[in-house]
Amino acid sequence: MRLLNCFLGILVAVVGFWLIWGTLAPVIVLGWALLVGAFLWLKAESITEIWAWATLLLGMESFAWPVVLMIQLKGPSESLPEAEMGTILSAVVLGLFASVFWISFSYGLFKRAWRTDQPLSKDEPSGASISLSKKKKAV
């Protein structure tokens, strides 16, 4: 199951990378896929961590998309046509919205993954001891 989720996480990150750069050589996209795959396989220990890292990468790609578009649209002249300015404005609004969403989503997944990985300390009562203490009070 971890392998399937790792593959799907790689697919999400690679599609985001491909959408940012548009026409790229397939070798570069394959290199990115291998890099992300190796990172996810070695770094993520659970399915939740795989998706946390994949959505964090997608959020960073969404943040980089308007910047890359501005670099690509920059021409030799100082002023841009109004159609290109509208394209840049749309990219900035959608890119920032998407990046905030995906980075917030990954934060929640990281928080969930790290919370479940840590064992309960001896100071914190477990759920079983709480229910036993409530039964004792009722009697």
Express each pLDDT in 18-38 by its tens digit. 888 877 788 998 999 999 999
Report the Cα 102 to chain-centroid distance in Å: 5
Cβ distance 41 to 85 under 8 Å? no
pLDDT level of residue 68 (50, 70, 90 thresholds): confident
Mean pLDDT of the chain: 82
Q: What share of the chain is helix, strand, coil (3-state, %, to 5)?
A: 80, 0, 20
3-state class (DSSP) for residue 23: coil
The count of other CB atoms within 10 Å of the CB of residue 64 is: 16
Express each pLDDT in 37-59 by its tens digit. 999 999 888 899 999 999 999 99
Q: How many Å apart are CA 60 and CA 65, to the nearest integer?
A: 9
